[in-house]
C-alpha cells in the first residue's frame, strides 16, 4: 500500500506517539492528522490516460486490502489480479473525513460521496506545482514525496524455498 495526502501525516504521528497497536493505535493519530491536513492539487494518471487534476485529500495505490492497523481501505483488492486498486478522496472537507474514517474499519466507505475507486496497471502522481512537498507513505513509513509512479510487474518476485 502506498498513499499520499492525509495518510503520511497519520502514519508519522502513529509511529512517533503510539504504543497501542491495531485500530486504536490509529484513531488519535488520524484525528490529529485530519486537524492539520490541507488538500493539495495533484495530477493523477491511470495507465497511459490523460492527467486528472484533483484536489487531493487522500490517494491510495493498493495491491492488498488493509493498512493502518486494520483499516479496510481497499476491500476489493486482490494480490494476484495484475492490477492496482486505487482509492481517491478528492476535495473532502474535514467535517466529512471523520465519519468516513469511521466507515473504513468495516470497508463501508466506498459508497461515500467523494470516495472514488478505480483499477490500473500503472499510476502516476505529480504535484501541480513543483514547489509543493506532497509526502508519500509506503507501508506505514514516510519515505519520500511526489512525483511517484507505481507499476505492476508480472512475475516480478521470484522465490526460492529451502528444503526442510
Q: In this predicted structure, what is the pLDDT of residue 46? A: 97
Question: Facing residues of 77 across strands?
Answer: none
Dist. CA 14–CA 9, nearest whole Å: 9
More confident residue, 159 or 43: 43
Q: In this predicted structure, what is the pLDDT of residue 104? A: 86
The answer to pTM > 0.75 is yes
Q: In this predicted structure, what is the pLDDT of residue 40? A: 95
User: What is the dotted CATH code of the domain comprising 2-151?
Assistant: 2.60.200.40
Cα–Cα distances (Å) from 150 to 26, 59, 101, in that order, read 26, 13, 25
The tens digit of pLDDT for each residue in 57-87 reads: 999 999 999 887 778 999 999 988 999 999 9
Interacting residues of 108 by C-beta distance below 8 A, sequence separation 6+: none
Amino acid at each position: 500500500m502506498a498513499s499520499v495526502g492525509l495518510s503520511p501525516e497519520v502514519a508519522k504521528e502513529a509511529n512517533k506517539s503510539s504504543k497501542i497497536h491495531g485500530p486504536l493505535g490509529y484513531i488519535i493519530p488520524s484525528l490529529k492528522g485530519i486537524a492539520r491536513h490541507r488538500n493539495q492539487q495533484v495530477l493523477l494518471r491511470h495507465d497511459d490516460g490523460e492527467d486528472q487534476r484533483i484536489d487531493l485529500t487522500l490517494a491510495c495505490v493498493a495491491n492488498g486490502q488493509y493498512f493502518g492497523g486494520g483499516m479496510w481501505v481497499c476491500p476489493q483488492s486482490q494480490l494476484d489480479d495484475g492490477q492496482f486498486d486505487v482509492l481517491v478522496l478528492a476535495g473532502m472537507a474535514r467535517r466529512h473525513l471523520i465519519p468516513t474514517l469511521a466507515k473504513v474499519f468495516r470497508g463501508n466507505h466506498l459508497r461515500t460521496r467523494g470516495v472514488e475507486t478505480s483499477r490500473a496497471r500503472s499510476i502516476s502522481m505529480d504535484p501541480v506545482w513543483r514547489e509543493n512537498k506532497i509526502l508519500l507513505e509506503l507501508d506505514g513509513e514516510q519515505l519520500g514525496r511526489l512525483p511517484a509512479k507505481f507499476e505492476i510487474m508480472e512475475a516480478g518476485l521470484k522465490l526460492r524455498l529451502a528444503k526442510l
